[in-house]
Amino acid sequence: METTKKPEPFGDVSKMMLILSKATLDNVYACFILANGARMEGIEAEIFFTFFGLEAVNKKKLEHLHVATVGNPAMHMPTMLGGLPGMEALATKMMKSEMEKLDIPPVDEFLEMLSASGVKLWGCKLAKDMFHLKDEELYDDLDGVITVGDFYKRADREGTHMLFI
């Protein structure tokens, strides 16, 4: 008689696969801190930069990412105020200075740190084509530009978790 194979248990977290789909500073930092934090615990980590998330590895854009002041309830300000000129720049400046106080590096240095820590950085092919970007416009230490299917295939072991940011 054939027995149905029991599903494998999820196991401890052995690999974190993060999908970054937005490039506001708050989302980018959340993603980078989660990836770096995994490596610090000896957990593998990979990031897939897709749609607007690709801006975080776009050389021209990555140093100029902003905090979203409109549509961000955690800003605790009326939406109309968030849309005023200069408001995003102010919030961004404040966030960057707070981050530096906590020893959290700016985006370009953070990318170097992630690479050096063994985090795999993948650009999304569809997003790259959509934004008409060339390889040389993307961060030099990117591990490659791949499709979503290629990324899923890298979830190759028990204890792999995937997170959409």
Partner 1 sequence: MIGGVPVQVNDEGYLTDHSQWKREIGDAIAKEEGIEMTDSHWTVIDYLQEQHRNEVPLSVRRVGKSGVIDIKGFYALFPKGPLKTSSKIAGIPKPVSCI
Positions touching partner 1 (CB under 8 A) are 33, 36-37, 39-42, 102-105, 113, 116-118
Name the minimum Å distance from CB 114 to partner 1. 9
Least distance between partner 1 and beta carbon 36 (Å): 6
**Which residue, 13 or 90, has its beta carbon nearer to partner 1?**
13
Q: What is the DSSP letter of 30?
A: H
Nearer to partner 1, 42 or 86 (CB): 42
For the bound state, the minimum distance from the C-beta of residue 79 to partner 1, rounded and expressed in Å, comes to 31
Instruction: Work out the number of other CB atoms within 10 angstroms of the CB of residue 131.
Output: 15
Give DSSP secondary structure letters for 65-126: -----SS-GGG-S-HHHHTSTTHHHHHHHHHHHHHHHTTPPPHHHHHHHHHHTT-EEEEEHH
Q: How far apart are CA 143 and CA 124, in angstroms?
A: 11
Which among 10, 26, 121, 125 is positioned nearest to 68, based on CA atoms? 26
C-beta of 26 vs 88, nearer to partner 1: 26
Residue 100 beta carbon to partner 1: minimum distance, rounded to whole angstroms: 11
Which CB, 79 or 117, lies closer to partner 1? 117
